[in-house]
Chain A
């Protein structure tokens, strides 16, 4: 016993043990975090694949998707519709130009030509064929006079192809044209007649918010999870596989410092990856929203939300990432190799995607606070709430608390795993 004391005293002379021990508690943690950051930021490949590529790829993909959707679901303004009419009545003819439909008149006798047009319609090579009764105007007058039986009411046939965007648009233009002509003849009442008034009182905020709250939560969850997958298995299963973690475990570093240091630093790195994806998404948003009919060209949806909204979002994202990194770290510590870690993590990835997809069907955020104690689901619902301007601060607080507590549990379990020889030396 005396021996021990003497030795301690001797060592104390060599280096200031008391001071270094106090410093040591945080020193080890900082050293582990610094190493993780250095590992990441001095590796050009990792920086490119984790930080730059996700943002760029999302920007490129979504911009292309947006543009493609735009050309798919809308018709350019200078498009000339290919439309034909049989027996085009003199009363309607003057109105067609205003509607932007320049009908080619077809002789009712040439059944072959009519059949040909129908064939082209089914092949999406033609936009519209309107077939009027030969005596349309005369029958219309007698119907208006009230002296004809209902069976003689003239019927107009509009042939079109609903899967062909131009054809569908021509069809609705023709319907509108005929409808307004009908209303002009028989003004029983009118609906939204004043074209100068905006009757849809949706705010631009709501419209974009609705779109975003549908699209973003699932997207964010997948992006965050992929970011976590990009760093955690490599750092934990990888170090185990390469035998470098045991080298650290023979030092006096506390196991909890190793676990916490890894989880925190990996979360920071994954957060940067997530930020890259988020910026990419926001930059491509105008095109995406333009394509889906929401306000286009008004700049990114970024400006819709207040600083508080963004702060809430950031807090939710950070807590979610901590949890993701915690869970993936546990699976990675359990795995014997990076490859095996990937296999173990994939069911969790599917779970995250499914829960994220549920967000698409939520009109607004979940109101029952108890649901915010369910991890992953709570993050999705918070994001739905934030993007649709319907969030409840208590719900977000509960989500943060739940995620932080669970991340803490992950760190504790990870510490236990680092202490277990069966985990560290499993082959």
Chain B
């Protein structure tokens, strides 16, 4: 398990949520608990892009949140760069960049200020942060908007600013929930190109998506999650097994649904 080039080791990760009475009624179920993530295990190697694939509600976001230490697993653990998300969340936080459309930038401030603010929270040396800021802002074309309040930025520009700010501390691992959600084609391209660039520079990226074409184009390895469980995980070619990724997913999905029935 996990050779020397393993940077993320997820073992039997589980998370259960309580369903409210309203949710129970909406989903027409008498279950009080919902297993969002069920004994999930997978490994991610250094300098690859790993994609968690699955339909909505499969448990992708919950898994990523646990990796980002925002929520605690009920059981199981994940070692991020050797540090446990359960026992050493502080260490994990300083090694990851986490990005999702749910985490927002404070609209009142400018990208430039927020970059500096998060650099301080991450304890980045000010001189280092300044150089980093210039490089990233230039790369994303934020330069001329750097002193404009986030509230006045376009959705695409906001996303690019969020991306720049989430990697203010030059993390080894970048966790990205639905990287292209809500973005136009151009911005989505900028983001995915940059992820590939980061990978080439030696960073590791874990992303979630329900867009199979994106995974096929971008990911080196993928894991398919159905109903909170890992159906298959491996390199893109291993998982595809000679088929189109989407077809492969439907095979697995039907197989799992059949087992459940």
Contact = CB atoms under 8 A, between A and B. Distances in A.
Contacts of A7: 81-82
A27 B123 contact: yes
Given A28-B120, A31-B120, A243-B103, A16 B125 contact: yes
Given A35-B109, A244-B104, 15 more contacts: A4-B83, A7-B81, A14-B170, A15-B128, A28-B123, A31-B121, A243-B104, A244-B105, A248-B121, A250-B68, A250-B98, A252-B93, A252-B94, A421-B71, A421-B72
Interface string A256-284: 00000000000000000000000000000
Nearest to A3: B82
Interface stretch (A18-26, A202-210, A365-373): A18-26
B36 to A, nearest CB: 12
Nearest to A39: B108
B138 to A, nearest CB: 21
Nearest to B120: A31
Interface string B24-67: 00000000000000000000000000000000000000000000
Contacts of B83: 4
Name the interface size band of chain A: 20 to 34
B154 interface: no
Contact of B120 (A15, A27, A425): A27
14 contacts: A15-B125, A21-B123, A23-B123, A27-B123, A38-B113, A39-B108, A43-B108, A243-B103, A244-B106, A246-B102, A250-B70, A250-B96, A251-B94, A425-B71
Contacts of B94: 251-252
Interface string B226-256: 0000000000000000000000000000000
Contacts of A28: 120-121, 123
A424 B107 CA distance: 19
A35 B117 contact: yes
Given A242-B106, A243-B104, A244-B106, A251 B122 contact: yes
A138 B128 CA distance: 109
Contacts of A20: 123, 125
Interface in A18-69: 20-21, 23-24, 27-28, 30-31, 35, 38-39, 43
Interface string B112-131: 01000110111111001000
Q: Which residue, A38, A39, A247, has most C-beta atoms of chain B within 10 A?
A: A247
Nearest to B6: A3
A283 B245 CA distance: 76
B183 to A, nearest CB: 17
A410 B170 CA distance: 35
B17 to A, nearest CB: 10
A3 to B, nearest CB: 6
Contact of B69 (A15, A16, A27, A250): A250
Interface in A279-293: none
Interface string A414-425: 000000010011
Contact of B103 (A31, A246, A252): A246
Please classify the interface of chain B as helix (H, G, I), strand (E, B), loop, or mixed, using the class held by over half of its residues: loop
Contacts of A3: 4, 82
Contact of B122 (A239, A252, A424): A252
A233 B104 CA distance: 18
A294 interface: no
A404 to B, nearest CB: 27
A31 B124 contact: no
A4 B72 CA distance: 23
Interface in A199-252: 239, 242-244, 246-252
A253 interface: yes
Interface in B74-94: 81-83, 90, 93-94
B82 A4 contact: yes
Contacts of A247: 103-105
Interface string B193-215: 00000000000000000000000
A7 B94 CA distance: 13
Nearest to B122: A251
B105 A31 contact: no
A249 B70 contact: yes
B133 to A, nearest CB: 15
A421 B17 CA distance: 11
Contact of B107 (A30, A242, A250): A242
A298 B122 CA distance: 57
B44 to A, nearest CB: 15
A15 B98 CA distance: 21
A344 to B, nearest CB: 19
A406 to B, nearest CB: 28
Contacts of A30: 120
Nearest to B104: A243
Contacts of A248: 121
A43 B106 CA distance: 13
Nearest first, the 9 closest Cβ-Cβ pairs linking A and B are: A31-B120, A421-B71, A251-B121, A243-B104, A252-B94, A24-B123, A247-B103, A4-B82, A252-B93
Contacts of B118: 251
A35 B108 CA distance: 11
B14 to A, nearest CB: 15
Contacts of B71: 421, 425
A160 B57 CA distance: 83
Interface in A299-354: none
A371 B149 CA distance: 50
B94 to A, nearest CB: 4
A14 B172 CA distance: 13
Nearest to B123: A24
A280 to B, nearest CB: 28
Contacts of A249: 70
A247 B65 CA distance: 12
A15 B124 contact: yes
Interface string A111-132: 0000000000000000000000
A23 B124 CA distance: 11
Contacts of A421: 70-72
B90 to A, nearest CB: 6
B222 to A, nearest CB: 24
B119 to A, nearest CB: 9
Q: Which residue, B72, B102, B106, has most C-beta atoms of chain A within 10 A?
A: B106
